[in-house]
Amino acid sequence: MNLPKAEELQSIVSHGRWDRAAAVLARLDPAVAADAFLSLPHHEQEVLFHHLPLDFAARLVPACAPYDAFVLLHTLPADRMKALVEKMNPAERVNFIDELPEEVWRQIVTEIYGDDGAAARALETPPAPTVEPIIEARQIEKRFGRAGGGEVQVIAPTSLRIEPGVIVALLGPSGSGKSTLLRMLSGLAQPSAGQVLWHGQPLDGHKPNVAIVFQSFALFPWLTVLDNVEVPLLARGMERAERRRRAVKNLQAVGLAGFEDAYPKELSGGMKQRVGFARALAVEPEILFMDEPFSALDVLTAETLRGELLELWQEKKISTKSIFLVTHNIEEAVLMADRIIVLAANPARIRADFRVSLHTRNRNSTEFLLYVDYIYKLMTRPLLEAEPPAPAEVGRQSGAARIPYRMLPHARPGSIAGLLELLNDRGGKEDLYRIAEELRMDVDDLLPVVEAAALLSFAKSERGDIELTPAGKSFAEADIAARKTLFREEALAHVRLLQQMHSAVLTKSDGAMPLEFFRDILDEHLSNEEVQREIETALDWGRYSGLFTYDSETDRLKRMEVMRMEVMRMEGDV
C-alpha cells in the first residue's frame, strides 16, 4: 500500500477539496490511485468518485477490487454509469465484467441498458407473449430407439413459442439436438410426444408455410439456378410464367441477377447459399428456418451474407414474419438475433432464453461483448442442477433409476497439450472466447478440449475463463516422455473407463482383452454412435499415455509388454 499518497489524499479530502483530490489521483498510476482511493472512508469514496473526470474514472474502476468497483458504479446515475462503462478500455472492461459475480453483473447490465422502461427486458426472461405465436411447441420431446432395445432421450420436454417480428437464434454445442428441434418445429420430423401448434392448430396433417436454408445448401446440381428456385413453386402447381417471374424477382433480391442459367457447381459457396435463400424466400414463408446457414462458408463470405440478410429483414424487403436460426456460433447469434435460446445437451433442453436488446450490432461495442461473454459463461458453467427426470425413463423397466453415464469429452491429447501450452504462454489464465478467437475455433470445437483439460485436472474452467492448475503447468513444461507419464497418472485418477481398460489388460494372463467387452458395457448407457465415439476417445488417450496398446486386426487391447514381445518374436522369425 502506498501510504504517503493515501495520507496526502485523506488530508485533502478531509478539507472537502474534492476537485483537488481528483486532480491528485488523476496524476497517479491507476493501480496506485486505486489503492489510495480505497483507503478513504466509504462515504468519502462516493463523493470523490462523483467528482472524478469520466476518463479517469473509467481507468480507476477496473483497478479496484470487483466488489468495490460494483458499489462505486452503483452510486452513479444510469446514464453516467453507462458512459463510464463505455469509456473503459475494451480488454479491461471484459476483465472487469468477468470478475464480477454473475448476478451483480446482470444487475449492472439491466441498469445500464434497461433504462428505456424495462427491467422486463432483463436477461433470461423470455418475452411476455403479447402477440399470437406463429408456432408454438408444447412439451415436445424426441426419443430414438436403440439397436439393443430401449430408447435414448434426445430432447427433453420443451416448450417454446415463435412470435412474428423477431429473429430467434438457437444456440448449443454440437450434438445438442438443435437440428432435431428445428426439424420438429418445421414439421419435417414428428415429436415423440407433445404437440407443435401452427397458428393454434396441430401441425400433424396441417401444411405450414415454412422454408429451410440448409447448411449444405441442398441445391439440385443438375438444375440451373432459375430452375432450382422454381422447384418449390412448381410443387405448388404454379404456372410457368408466374413461376419464372417470382424466381427472377427473388434472385434479384439476393443479388444473383444474371446467374439464372448457371449451374450450382459453377458458383462459389456464398453464391450457392444465396440461391438457397432465394429458393426459400420464393415460397414467401411465414417462418424462415436456417440450419447453420453460414457455417459451410468462409469467414468473410459468411459476414457479408449475414449483413445482407439482416438488411433485407430490417428494411422489410422479405415477407417472412420471423426467422429461426440454428447456429453454434455465439457471435453470429448475438449479431443477428432479437432473442437467443441456449440449449444444454444430453438430453437437449432450454438452458437460457433471453432477449438481446442491442442498440447497434457492432462487434466491438460494449453491449456486444457483454452478451458474447455472458453466453460463454452460460455454456461453460457446469450443470449443477440435477438432470430433470425424463417421463419415459428407460431405467424404470430395469427397476433402478440410472445415473446418466458421463461421456469423455471428444478431444485429442495433442489438442489438450496445445491448449495447455498456449495457456502457459499467456501466464496461466485466459478468456475462453479470446482463445477461441486466437485459434480461430468455434466454441463447439474448443469446449471438448477445455472439458478434457478440466477432467484431467490440468486446468480449471470457470465463468468463461480457463486457468492452468499446477499439474497443468508442469505438463505444459514437460518433455514428451514426462508428459505421457503425467497424462497417464491423471487419466487413471479421473477416467473410469481407462481404469477399467488398464486393469483388464494387467490382470488377464495373456495381457489381451477384447474391445468388444467394453463396447458391450457402454451399450447399456449410450447409443451406437456414442459408443463408437467414446471408444475412439478412450483408445486415443490410452494409446497416447501408454496405458495399453490396441491391435485393430484382432480388435483387442493389449498390455504394452505383450505387444513388444510379439514384435520381438516376429522379428526373430524373420
Residues near other proteins (CB under 8 A): 183, 186-188, 204-205, 207, 210-212, 214-216, 218, 220-224, 226, 231-232, 234-237, 239-240, 244, 248-249, 252, 257-261, 263-266, 269, 272, 283, 552-553
Cα separation, 405 vs 346, in Å, equals: 10
Give the nearer residue to other proteins in terms of CB position, either 187 or 514. 187
Give the nearer residue to other proteins in terms of CB position, either 118 or 218. 218
Question: Least separation, in Å, of the C-beta of 500 and other proteins?
Answer: 26
Give the nearer residue to other proteins in terms of CB position, either 190 or 485. 190
Give the nearer residue to other proteins in terms of CB position, either 115 or 555. 555
Q: Which are the contacts of 336, defined by CB distance < 8 A and separation ≥ 6?
A: 167, 169, 306, 309, 310, 323, 325, 361
Question: Least separation, in Å, of the C-beta of 195 and other proteins?
Answer: 15
Give the nearer residue to other proteins in terms of CB position, either 272 or 377. 272
Question: Least separation, in Å, of the C-beta of 328 and other proteins?
Answer: 17
Give the nearer residue to other proteins in terms of CB position, either 235 or 570. 235
Beta carbons of 495 and 535 less than 8 angstroms apart = no
- What cell does 105 get? 453483473
Cα separation, 504 vs 388, in Å, equals: 35
Q: Which are the contacts of 391, defined by CB distance < 8 A and separation ≥ 6?
A: 141, 157, 193
Strand 512-514 relative to strand 556-558, pairing: antiparallel
- What SS3 string covers 6-46? HHHHHHHHHCCCHHHHHHHHHHCCHHHHHHHHHCCCHHHHH
Question: Least separation, in Å, of the C-beta of 527 and other proteins?
Answer: 17
Cα separation, 172 vs 441, in Å, equals: 15
Give the nearer residue to other proteins in terms of CB position, either 162 or 446. 162
Residue 405 is given by DSSP the state P
Cα separation, 193 vs 346, in Å, equals: 17
Question: Least separation, in Å, of the C-beta of 278 and other proteins?
Answer: 13
Cα separation, 566 vs 500, in Å, equals: 23
Give the nearer residue to other proteins in terms of CB position, either 84 or 170. 170
Question: Least separation, in Å, of the C-beta of 403 and other proteins?
Answer: 33
Cα separation, 254 vs 278, in Å, equals: 6
The Cα angle at residue 362 between residues 359 and 364, in degrees rounded to 5: 120
Question: Least separation, in Å, of the C-beta of 162 and other proteins?
Answer: 16
Give the nearer residue to other proteins in terms of CB position, either 282 or 342. 282
Question: Least separation, in Å, of the C-beta of 203 and other proteins?
Answer: 11
Cα separation, 521 vs 544, in Å, equals: 23
Beta carbons of 88 and 57 less than 8 angstroms apart = no
Cα separation, 291 vs 183, in Å, equals: 9
Residue 441 is given by DSSP the state -
Question: Least separation, in Å, of the C-beta of 287 and other proteins?
Answer: 12
Closest CA to 280 of 271, 272, 289: 289
Give the nearer residue to other proteins in terms of CB position, either 236 or 429. 236
Question: Least separation, in Å, of the C-beta of 249 and other proteins?
Answer: 8
Closest CA to 541 of 413, 420, 453, 407: 413
